[in-house]
Chains A and B, each alone.
Chain A
Amino acid sequence: MAKVIRKVFPVFEYEREEKWLNEMAEKGFILQHVGFFSYHFEECIPGEYQVRMQLLEKSIHSQESKEYISFLEDTGIEHMGNMFGWAYFRKKGDFELYSDTAPRIRQINTILTSLIIILLANLMSGVTNVLSYLSSGNEMSYPKVSYSIIGILNLALVVILSWGIRRLVSKKRSLQKKDDLFE
């Protein structure tokens, strides 16, 4: 029996997403295909498969990514699809894509860079809209209302993004700490 679940995970929650996919596999539903915010599952023996996700360093259509994915496939890993630059893999038995921490840290850095850019853009837009709201006179008007709505949305997003960025930074620190004594 196939199963489709629509679900949205913020990018900084990629570990929770992977965990959820593995919990599904534990229950006997293994990822078969990913679509736009949708996960397609097929039945499997509970616990037979493991799922791993990775933010590809280059575009999915680039030669580098194709070579990388075909290398993984040669080791028995199945590529189940991509969503927003993330590739989804599965394999029978326990498996990891990385046995070292450097690529995990690199992946966090890539996500942090884009989140910080989005945060700054929203912060600027939010402040601009709030200032426009304050300086647009006392009468309620269409532009005045939209300044306030957009400004509030921008600033709410800034709060959510700051929270996500903090989580990623602490995750990165704990990975770096592990690196100090052992290779």
Chain B
Amino acid sequence: MASETVGALTEAVYYILIALMQPMHGYGIMQKTEELSGGRVRLAAGTLYGALNKMVERGWIRALEEEKGSRRKEYLITPEGREIFEGEIRRLQELLDNGIKVLEAQNG
């Protein structure tokens, strides 16, 4: 299954997928990411642009039909993107579980 073979997502891609659970344009994604991470993850516009194009190519997100009078393109996650996202959550959960387990064992 695709979601099992992708490896770790970058923080940028992970937050883009979260942001695109609802339709959003580039600047909105940057703001959402900064807000969710408490200012820790700041997506640079060039990096975001490259990531969005690659994710559209892979079918993880899609560009929405542009509305009249609006020149900003909006994007939305696809079912494939959601699958990738869920796979990543499982991968992160495993890392987290194992980390916590070993810490608990050490601390008694």
Chain B residues lying within 8 Å of A96, measured Cβ to Cβ, are 44
Is the Cβ of B8 less than 8 Å from the Cβ of A72? Answer: no
- Among A22-30, A31-39, A98-106, A142-150, the stretch that binds chain B is A98-106
A68 to B27, CA, bound (A): 13
Contact bitstring B39-51, A, C-beta under 8 A = 1, else 0: 0001111110110
Q: Give the residue among A54, A68, A98, A183 with the most B Cβ atoms within 10 A.
A: A98
A121 within 8 A of B: no
B25 at the interface (CB under 8 A from A): yes
Min Cβ gap B72→A in Å is: 5
Q: Taking the complex as formed, is A70 at the interface, i.e. its CB lies under 8 A from any CB of chain B?
A: yes
A side interface size, CB within 8 A: 17
- Residues of the A chain whose Cβ atoms lie less than 8 Å from the Cβ of B50: 103
Question: CA–CA, A96 to B17, complex, Å?
Answer: 22
Q: Which of A70, A99, A100, A183 has the most CB of B within 10 A?
A: A99
The 14 sampled A-B contact pairs (Cβ below 8 Å) are: A54-B46, A68-B46, A68-B49, A74-B26, A74-B27, A76-B27, A95-B44, A97-B47, A99-B42, A99-B43, A99-B47, A100-B10, A103-B50, A183-B10
Q: Which residues of A contact B (CB under 8 A)?
A: 54, 68, 70-72, 74-77, 95-100, 103, 183
What 10 A-B pairs come out closest when comparing CB atoms?
Answer: A97-B46, A99-B44, A96-B44, A75-B45, A75-B27, A99-B47, A98-B47, A72-B45, A98-B44, A98-B46
